[in-house]
Amino acid sequence: MDTLALLADGFATSLSPLNIMIVLLGVTAGLFIGAMPGLGSVNGVAIVLPLTFIVPPSSAIILLCAIYYGAMYGGAISSILLGIPGASTAVATTFDGRPLAQQGKAGLALIAAAVASFIGGTISVVLFTLFAVPLADLALAFGPAEEFALVLMAFTTFVGLGGDDKLKTIIMICLGLVLSTVGLDLISGQPRLIFGDMPGFYSGISFLVLAIGVYGIGEILYTIESSRTAPQVTPARITLRDLGDGIRTMNRMWRTMSLGSFLGFFVGMLPAAGATPAALMAYGIARSTSKTPSSFGKGNLEGVAAPETANNAASTGSLLPMLTLGIPGSPTTALLLGGMVMWGLMPGPMLFIEQPEFVWGLISSLYTANFAAVAINIALIPLFVWALRMPFTVLCALVMVLCIVGGFAPSQKMHDVWLIAGFGVAGYLLRKADYPLAPLVLALVLGPLMEKSFRQTLIAEQGNILAFVERPLSGTFIALAALFFVLPLVKYLRKGGARSIAPAE
């Protein structure tokens, strides 16, 4: 009851005309920033942060939430239209979003992404409203061992399946993991794999650089080669009927979407994990529990809906440890945390007690931002789809410029732009030789988390490797990971091995 009263007060603030304007502005800006390959919510929030000093904190936090949400929606746009994940959270969206766009169904995929994001956002905000405080303790129960087990689970839900060439998949996973170790060894504090002391490698190889390289440049080169012999991209079109069809189709995906929302919220809540493993796990689970797993990776709408519900739910979830524990789960929440400190608020266990107006104002603005984001997103879909109808040579030229500028923007190093070009050429050749690229990118994203938590656990437990299974929470995750790994095998055996398992890509 108390909660509801506080939330009502929050809505009274966030629904004032000025604040509604702010939400619309923020969401639109966020949407475009998120849709740009290389840029994400972190760029938008970083720019606006100093400005928030000038406006009152309640309006400032609304603006920040609006940009945060807008960018989460926007991430799916570049994944679907260009096949370049704008942020690691949107990798899984490319797996089915890109094929859909190539079949001329970009509009449908974008609608699915928007609706799924809305559902994920809504369910997670409700969970947040109801359980924010008690759930903080769960986040605390996660130590390095549990983190490792969780990442392992994210990995196996994904890798356990798939009918690609096994040897080549293994090579790509290992390559991704090795590339993820470039830079600094956190445990000993020594640089490693910096290839003859090149300072550009000190900070490691960022996910964005690899993704823009192999999915951006590599994809363009691949399409240039195949475009004249067999056109791959069907011109996209969108009508109002598509919108209705899209929403009707979505109606059949409640199971996937609610699973994605819960999974996203709970995984996103854990400081070390966040939205990326959540989206991957949602995709993996949607595929392995589907009646037609073979349709995944070839343009199944559920393959767009699952990761999109999960990553949006996770972005709400990751606000929870920031507010209740003062621990940011992602660079963006770290910046939000910095903003709160600047406004003189002390995030942590006391925030809910000492600053209830702020907390519930924030939560109510999440609701408002979510509504605004889905409305603006759907309204802009025709514009995005229209952009895809440009002549191929024009689109390629513009995307390449975007790849260069977007690759430079996050770290502001020419080193990264060269790496993008290199990865682009390498990705093109590997793709032609039937090496799967998704495991490479996934391994790079999950690798650092895996190695760090694995070694932290072993140090803390004096080298006792059994620690992973002895702890109840991490033991459970390891068991689940093993289950996900063998599940496809069981399915395969039950079918008598007559039909082979679904190909992943």
Partner 1 sequence: MIYKMTRRAALAGVASIAMIAAGATSALAENWKPQKPVEMVIMAGQGGGADRLARLFQSIIQKEKLSSMPVLPVNKGGGSGAEALRYLKDNAGDAHKIMATLNSYYTTPLRTDIGVDIEEFTPIARMALDTFVLWVNADSDIHTLDDYVAAVKASGGEWKMGGTGTGQEDSLVTAMLEKEFDIKVTYVPFKGGGDVAKNLVGGHIDSTVNNPSEALGFYQAGKVRPIVAFTPDRMEVFPDTPTATELGHDIVYWMQRSFVAPKDMPAEAVAYYTEMFRQLSETEEWQTYTKDKALMADFLTGDELQAYFIEEREKHAAILADMEGDGSS
Partner 2 sequence: MLVADRVIAIAIMALSAYLMWHATALPIGWNGMTGGPGGGAFPFWLSLIMLLSAGGVLVRSLGQEKSSQHFFDGQMLRSVIAVVIALFVTIALIPLVGAYVALPLFLFWYLKIYGGHGWVLTGILTLGAPVFVFFFFEATLKILLPKGVTEPLFFPLYAMFF
Kindly state whether residue 51 participates in binding partner 2, applying the rule CB under 8 A: no
Q: In terms of Cα–Cα distance, which of 266, 335, 19 is closest to 120? A: 266
Distance CA 12, CA 481 (A): 45
Phi/psi for 38 (5° steps) reads 100, -30
Which residues in 448-467 contact partner 2 (CB under 8 A)?
451, 454-455, 457-464
Of the residues 335, 395, 426, 478, which one makes contact with partner 1 according to CB under 8 A: 335
Q: What sign does the dihedral 343-348-350-351 (CA atoms) show?
A: positive
Work out how close the CB of 185 gets to partner 1 at its nearest, in angstroms, rounded to a whole number: 9
Compare residues 344 and 496 and give the one whose CB is closer to partner 1.
Answer: 344
In DSSP notation, 290-358 reads SS-GGGTTSS-HHHHHHHHHHHHHHHHHTHHHHHHHS--SSHHHHHHHHHHHHTT---STTHHHH-HHH
State whether residue 190 is helix, strand or coil.
strand
Work out how close the CB of 423 gets to partner 2 at its nearest, in angstroms, rounded to a whole number: 12
State whether residue 184 is helix, strand or coil.
strand
Question: Which amino acid is it at 301?
Answer: L
Per-position x/- string for 393-432, each x denoting binding to partner 2 as judged by CB under 8 A, each - no binding:
xx-xxx-xx--xx--xx--x-x--xx--x--xx--xxx-x
Please state the separation of Cα 68 from the chain's center in Å: 13
Work out how close the CB of 430 gets to partner 2 at its nearest, in angstroms, rounded to a whole number: 7
Q: What residue 271 binds from partner 1, partner 2, none (CB within 5 to 8 A, per partner kind)?
A: partner 1
Of the residues 4, 5, 50, 434, which one makes contact with partner 1 according to CB under 8 A: 50
Kindly state whether residue 197 participates in binding partner 2, applying the rule CB under 8 A: no
Which residues in 16-35 contact partner 1 (CB under 8 A)?
none
Question: Which amino acid is it at 160?
Answer: G
Residue 43 contacts residue 33 (beta carbons within 8 Å): yes
Tokens of 262: 């819960």
Q: In terms of Cα–Cα distance, which of 80, 75, 93 is closest to 36? A: 75
Q: What residue 5 binds from partner 1, partner 2, none (CB within 5 to 8 A, per partner kind)?
A: none
Which residues in 409-428 contact partner 1 (CB under 8 A)?
411-412
Residue with tokens 């060439």: 165
Which residues in 175-194 contact partner 1 (CB under 8 A)?
183-184, 186-191, 194
Distance CA 130, CA 117 (A): 20
Compare residues 8 and 178 and give the one whose CB is closer to partner 2.
Answer: 178
Kindly state whether residue 338 participates in binding partner 1, applying the rule CB under 8 A: yes
SS (H, E, C) 119-179: HHHHHHHHHHHHHHHHHHHHHHCCCHHHHHHHHHHHHHHHHCCCCCCHHHHHHHHHHHHHH
Kindly state whether residue 225 participates in binding partner 2, applying the rule CB under 8 A: yes
Residue with tokens 């939205």: 275
Which residues in 228-247 contact partner 2 (CB under 8 A)?
228-229
Kindly state whether residue 205 participates in binding partner 2, applying the rule CB under 8 A: no
Residue count, binding to partner 2 (CB under 8 A): 66
Distance CA 22, CA 25 (A): 5
Per-position x/- string for 153-182, each x denoting binding to partner 2 as judged by CB under 8 A, each - no binding:
--------------xx-xx--xx-xx--x-
- The answer for residues whose C-beta is within 8 angstroms of residue 57's C-beta and 6 or more apart is 343, 345, 358
Work out how close the CB of 400 gets to partner 2 at its nearest, in angstroms, rounded to a whole number: 7
Interface with partner 2 (CB under 8 A): 33, 36, 39, 43-44, 47, 167-168, 170-171, 174-175, 177-178, 181, 185, 187-188, 190, 192-193, 195, 217, 220-221, 224-226, 228-229, 391, 393-394, 396-398, 400-401, 404-405, 408-409, 412, 414, 417-418, 421, 424-425, 428-430, 432-433, 435, 451, 454-455, 457-464
Interface with partner 1 (CB under 8 A): 42, 46, 49-51, 53-54, 139-144, 183-184, 186-191, 194, 197, 199-204, 271-272, 321, 325-328, 331, 333-335, 337-338, 341-342, 344, 346-351, 411-412, 452, 456, 459-460, 462
